[in-house]
A and B are shown apart, each in its own frame.
Chain A
């Protein structure tokens, strides 16, 4: 028995429920794994791994989980988490990385459905998490540079329900606001206090334009003072510095 092959075999069995054909397992390894996989202790071991993954997702993506629970009850939310765990390999020891993977999977599941609130909250939480783990590119100079571009983590998320009222209701378990046909926008970016705030239609338009680097003079001519304001908030950064974090 080689320790490495035994560990690979055991880990893959616990994580995926099968004795992997692609691993170099000895006959002794395979015999042991076949015995173990029908034992009650093996089921408990797998349960523990599952609980840990579920806990990580719940801890790192609390807003998305709350929306799921409000729409599908706790059992429904658990069902989505379990489905994700069953369908997706564990590849990261890290909480936020796993939560991002879960949110991405969930958004794919709900794309094209009528559940814009869930997808908007999930996108919002995804943007917040990315801000948390990505080093910030800051604007060293006070004056506007020659060319501007959006800070890599800056995102605009569209809601069809007042997002601040909805988040308040979500967090404090109050009645949810009703959609009134209006579109609302939130900017998420590193330089904004708590990473987010409401965005105006004009700000959304600036961010759209600045997805690619553009001359500051032309952008300012078109949109006015809000360009400087977004620069101060580091939603927009010097196009020369994009990709070079502090």
Chain B
């Protein structure tokens, strides 16, 4: 049985490089989000590389989360790989979940692992998007069930940014329809990354405000917001800046309409700290708080 979850509030991404920031802003951050990948290290054992937690970084992460809730947001599971997901990553999750109670965990809706013509497994490094098809949903449904049976906490999938045109789709399906089908046909929650969605809409020439209303918000458990950069005319999701105004407007639209929303995270990479600065991070978090606290959640 999946454990029910309470509301967490305002969250921030944690990394070793942002530890001082999260300490300084502790009184306005309700929970932290950690990607297990960034506190792992490679180990060469019997000529094979395996993944394990770095003892120093794990200790730092556990210390940072000793007095407030933490959720996990993974990168390395490759849940969308048709040739097989990264089972070693499940052991990483096992370890962390044995050390900390985690209200929910999430992953990116994409694929990393794939095959060369000689059947050698390889990785693409940064997740590539999935087509909007029933085959994808059928595959994900099986893996989502495995995760839920293994960990007994809610699992969320995050919509990712992508730059490729005309992803293969079922007739009449676009990203919104795909996300609705995914959440209604599986027992998976949605980590709605509003900045990713905004980037995808803008990059494809779609009006975000005319289309956000089509998304079924009932399954939204967590929201990510962020700011990024522009490259070759495309908006990039690089978590390196303050949140742009249209994304704040999308957040203000979504929050009161997402009855099961449990937390909102401002995402920032270490490198973004020098661009944004502590004062602006503070302001971003306070603005999230104002939106979140002003919403009269019924549960």
CA distance A133 to B51 in the complex (A): 10
- Stretch from B92-100, B144-152, B226-234, B287-295 contacting the other chain: B226-234
Looking at A45, A47, A132, the one whose CB has the most chain B CB atoms below 10 A away is: A45
Which residues in chain B, 80-109, are within 8 Å of chain A measured between CB atoms? 81-83
Q: What band does the interface of chain B fall in when counting residues whose beta carbon is under 8 Å from A?
A: 35 or more
Q: Nearest CB to that of A5 among chain B residues?
A: B82
Indicate if the CB atoms of B231 and A44 lie closer than 8 Å.
Answer: yes
Q: Nearest CB to that of B123 among chain A residues?
A: A93
CA distance A41 to B122 in the complex (A): 23
Indicate if the CB atoms of B128 and A45 lie closer than 8 Å.
Answer: yes
Indicate if the CB atoms of B125 and A90 lie closer than 8 Å.
Answer: yes
Indicate if the CB atoms of B111 and A7 lie closer than 8 Å.
Answer: yes
Indicate if the CB atoms of B82 and A41 lie closer than 8 Å.
Answer: no
Chain A residues contacting B118 (CB-CB under 8 Å) are 22
Which residues in chain A, 21-66, are within 8 Å of chain B measured between CB atoms? 21-23, 32, 35-36, 39-45, 47-49, 52-53
Q: Nearest CB to that of A37 among chain B residues?
A: B164
CA distance A42 to B167 in the complex (A): 12
Indicate if the CB atoms of A4 and B83 lie closer than 8 Å.
Answer: yes
Which residues in chain B, 29-48, are within 8 Å of chain A measured between CB atoms? 41-45
The A contact surface, by secondary structure, is helix
Indicate if the CB atoms of B232 and A49 lie closer than 8 Å.
Answer: no
Query: Which residue of the partner chain, among B83, B124, B164, contacts A39 with CB atoms under 8 Å?
Result: B164
Chain A residues contacting B114 (CB-CB under 8 Å) are 7-8, 11-12
Contacts known (A12-B116, A15-B122, A44-B231); A92 close to B168, Cβ less than 8 A = no
Indicate if the CB atoms of B125 and A49 lie closer than 8 Å.
Answer: yes
Indicate if the CB atoms of B76 and A132 lie closer than 8 Å.
Answer: no
> Using a CB–CB distance below 8 Å, which chain A residues touch chain B?
1-4, 6-8, 10-12, 14-15, 20-23, 32, 35-36, 39-45, 47-49, 52-53, 89-97, 130, 132-135, 245
Extra 7 A-B pairs, beta carbons < 8 Å, given A2-B82, A3-B131, A7-B114? A3-B136, A7-B128, A12-B117, A32-B168, A41-B163, A134-B44, A245-B45
